[in-house]
Structure 1
């Protein structure tokens, strides 16, 4: 991913999280476990299992000691991890924000 594309993706994620009226960063992060559960049990129609699997692979890539471009190649090895990190955070924050909005509109209020 080119530098400009990574910067644009980071800026887009920042604008999404800070846009007035949208869920904040904390709400989005807290929603991620609920999002995963809802995708897995099929109750959230906004995201498929395939995309969830891709996000999972991104997480595994970030924590894995095996790397496509090893860190010992100095800057190049760090740049690929950073690109995956930006994609992962942008995707997770965007999806979790949409999920929080979906929850707000679809959670039934139980009678008292």
Structure 2
């Protein structure tokens, strides 16, 4: 993903998190373990296991000492980690917000 696209995604995520009535940052972060479990059990169809696996790979890439672009190439090596971090945070917060909305909708009583 290009730098501009990652920055745009980060901005959209920030706007979404700060929008009135939208799940806040804390609610989205607390929802992540529940969302992962619901996806794995097949209860939440809003996100596929493939995207969940990509997010898991993103986490592994960030914490792994092995990089595609080595960090000793200071600006470039750190930029790829930061790009993955931006994508991961945007994806996790976006999906977390959609999951919280899904939980809220599921908890609403049905009207006769």
Asked if these proteins are the same fold (TM beyond 0.5), I'd say yes
* Structure-1 separation of matches of 2:85 and 2:102: 25
Query: Which residue does 1:36 correspond to in 2?
Result: 36
* Structure-2 separation of matches of 1:16 and 1:108: 22
3-state SS in 1 of match to 2:72: helix
Alpha-carbon displacement from aligned partner over 1:28-85 (angstroms, at most 9, x marks no partner): 0000000000000011110111110011000110111100001100100000001000
Structure 1 unmatched ranges of 5 or more: none
3-state SS in 2 of match to 1:21: coil
* Structure-2 separation of matches of 1:16 and 1:50: 24
Cα distance, 1:9 vs structure 2: 1.6
Alignment RMSD (CA, Å): 1.3
What TM-score results when the alignment is normalised by the length of structure 1?
0.92
Q: How many residues align?
A: 109
What TM-score results when the alignment is normalised by the length of structure 2?
0.92
Structure 2 unmatched ranges of 5 or more: none
* Structure-1 separation of matches of 2:58 and 2:37: 18
